[in-house]
Each structure stands twice: as C-alpha cells, then as structure tokens.
Amino acid sequence: MWTIPNQITLFRIILIPIFIIVFYLPISWNHFGAFAVFWLASISDALDGYLARRLNQSSSFGAFIDPVADKLMVAAALIMIAVDFQHWYIVVPAMVMIAREIFISALREFMSSKGKRDIVAVSQLGKYKTAAQMLSIMGLIWQPNYDIPLILFNFPYEILMFAAYAFYFIATILTVWTMVVYFRAAWPELKG
C-alpha cells in the first residue's frame, strides 16, 4: 500500500490545504504561490501514474485514491476561482465541471458494480479535458496582474489571461461532451 506512487498521491492530498492557505494569505504573491502549489500537484499526478507503471507498483489502493486526490484538488481550485471572480461565466462552468466529476464518479461506480467499468474508462477526450482544465485553473489562479513574478517571466498579462479563459471554456465544452459520451456508453446498463 505504501508504494512510491501512493505516497506521491497522498502528498498531493496534503497539498490541498496548503494550496488553500497560500491562496488566501494576505501577501502580494499569494496567487503566484497558489499557482506553484497547484502546478506541483499537477506534476505529481502525472508522476505517480508514470511511476506506478514503470516500477510495476499499481495497486487497488492507488487506483482508488488517485482519482479522489485529483477531484479534491480540482474541486477546491474551481470553488476558489468561482468565489474570487464572482462572474457567472466563471461560476457556471465551475459548477458544471464539479457536477460532472460527481456524476462520472457515480457512473463509474455503478458500472463497476455491473463488472463493466471499462465501458466508462478514461478516454482520450477525457485526457484532453483534464489538460485544458489544469492549464485554465493554473492561469486563473495565478491572475498575474496581482503578482510581481510575472515581470520576471517578461510575459504579457493579457496573453496569459486570454489563454486561461480559452482553456477554461474548452475544458467546459469537453466536460459536457465527455459526460454525454460516457452516459451514452453506459445507457444500456442504466435503462436495464
């Protein structure tokens, strides 16, 4: 159970309260700090999966806890972004993304009970959704106009925020699209 990949996943869960605390610290670089913590969590997500395969350390506990860690971090970030921006075009997609994660988790649990979880396994489209979601969340958390480190990167604020918004809306579209795809795939079992 305490394999290296599982330890990395648990580390990601420990990062959630740190992420929230840093985001709300009354200092000028709080958004950049929260961005850095979220980035570290995102990297650890890719790393634990890679190491589980590479070291042949896949486990039932890892298969359970990895998506839980991902969903907790993403939900926390989406809630914080929605509260911070307070615009319907940020809040509504955040609610849609969180609702989709709950819906798909329940759908996968149901399909597992029928021995058919592979029908709703993560698709390539789902991976694109996750990538767009992570990139958008990092940009929206950072809000570099509030942070000095942007000057160090010599990168125009407007371009970064445009990219963050674009990825956010792409992630929202892919969120709905993948939910429909998974639901249609499971429909024969659901209607039975």
**DSSP line for the chain:** ---HHHHHHHHHHHHHHHHHHHHH-SSTTHHHHHHHHHHHHHHHHHHHHHHHHHTT---HHHHHHHHHHHHHHHHHHHHHHHHHH--HHHHHHHHHHHHHHHHHHHHHHHHHHTT-GGGGSPPHHHHHHHHHHHHHHHHHHH-GGG-THHHHHT--HHHHHHHHHHHHHHHHHHHHHHHHHHHHHHHHHH--
pLDDT at 122: 79
Cα separation, 46 vs 41, in Å, equals: 9
Angle between helices 124-142 and 60-85 (to 10 degrees): 40
Sign of CA pseudo-dihedral 122, 164, 98, 177 = negative
The pLDDT of residue 104 is 92
What confidence score (pLDDT) does residue 36 get? Answer: 94
Predicted confidence at residue 144, as pLDDT, reads 62
Catalytic residue set: 70
* pLDDT value of residue 114: 85
Query: Using CA atoms, how far apart are residues 58 and 42, in angstroms rounded to an integer?
Result: 19
CA distances 60 to 91, 137, 170, Å, are 35, 29, 32
pLDDT tens, residue order, the chain (192 aa): 788 989 999 999 999 999 999 999 998 889 889 999 999 999 998 898 888 888 888 888 888 888 899 999 999 999 999 999 989 999 999 999 999 999 999 998 898 888 888 888 878 898 899 999 999 999 999 876 554 555 555 566 778 889 999 999 999 999 999 999 999 999 998 887
Q: What is the pLDDT of residue 132?
A: 95
**Which pLDDT value is given to residue 154?**
57
pLDDT at 66: 87
Task: For the beta carbon of residue 183, count every other beta carbon within 10 angstroms.
Answer: 14
Neighbours of 49 (CB within 10 A): 16
Which pTM does this prediction carry? 0.87
| pLDDT given at position 97 | 96
Question: Can you tell me which residue has the tokens 């106009």?
Answer: 145
CATH superfamily name and code, 4-190: CDP-alcohol phosphotransferase transmembrane (TM) domain (1.20.120.1760)
Residue with tokens 């839980």: 68
- The structural domains of the chain, with segments of one domain joined by +, span 4-190
Long-range contacts of 85-88 (CB under 8 A, 24+ apart): 85/140
